[in-house]
Homo-oligomer: A and B are copies of this chain.
Amino acid sequence: MEEILRQQIEQIVPLTDDEFTQILTYFGERKFKKNQYLIQAGDYAPNDFFVTKGLLKSSFTDEHGKEHILQFAMENWWMSDPQAYHNSLKASLNVSCLEDTHTYFISLDNREKLCADWQKMEHFFRKKTQAGYVALQRRILSLMSQTAAERYTQFVQLYPQLLQRVPKALIASYLGVSRETLSRLFLH
């Protein structure tokens, strides 16, 4: 499993075996069962999770009890409640498993230590965060300017694997469309 984390880092910065062994000591390893929660709204959310196997969703439940899907994370993706994690606040999001999931996780303290000790890891996290920022901005543009059909087409192109693994109702929530609209789109 640790090879997936190593490959993730090495997409941006090369590592020797010895370096990776040392970097790995900043991480913990944890398995979760399907439907189990990694983060619950109202609790602290001290870890950023890297998925090596399985599938997660993060969601926000509004005051009317409606769940809005913010993100999915499958193998090779990161997942946290970023606002809670980076500011040591209580979570506003729930993160739970759509499949049995294996993760490596890093606390904020360890992330900051790792970045201070290893400039290449500071570089890695800067680049990853920048890529995440660009993806979020694309999502905002999509929510503001695209029709349900356009959003669905973009989702299929960007994340064909998720389409196979995520229940349709959750994809509809992620896209901000009704389940009925999504069903209609599936028929085309």
Using a CB–CB distance below 8 Å, which chain A residues touch chain B? Answer: 60, 62, 66, 68, 70, 82-83, 86-87, 92, 115-116, 119, 122-123, 125-126, 129-134, 136-141, 143-145, 176
CB distance A126 to B122 under 8 Å? yes
Tell me how many chains of this kind the complex includes.
2
Q: Which of B116, B131, B133, B145 contacts A136 (CB 8 A)?
A: B133
CB distance B144 to A83 under 8 Å? no
Q: How far is the CB of A122 from chain B (nearest CB, A)?
A: 5
A126 with B136: in contact, given A66-B145, A68-B145, A141-B70 (CB under 8 Å)?
Answer: no
Chain B: CB-nearest residue to A86: B130
CA distance A68 to B119 in the complex (A): 38
A137 with B83: in contact, given A115-B126, A145-B66, A145-B68 (CB under 8 Å)?
Answer: yes
CA distance A101 to B62 in the complex (A): 39
Question: Within 8 Å CB of A132, what residues of B?
Answer: 133
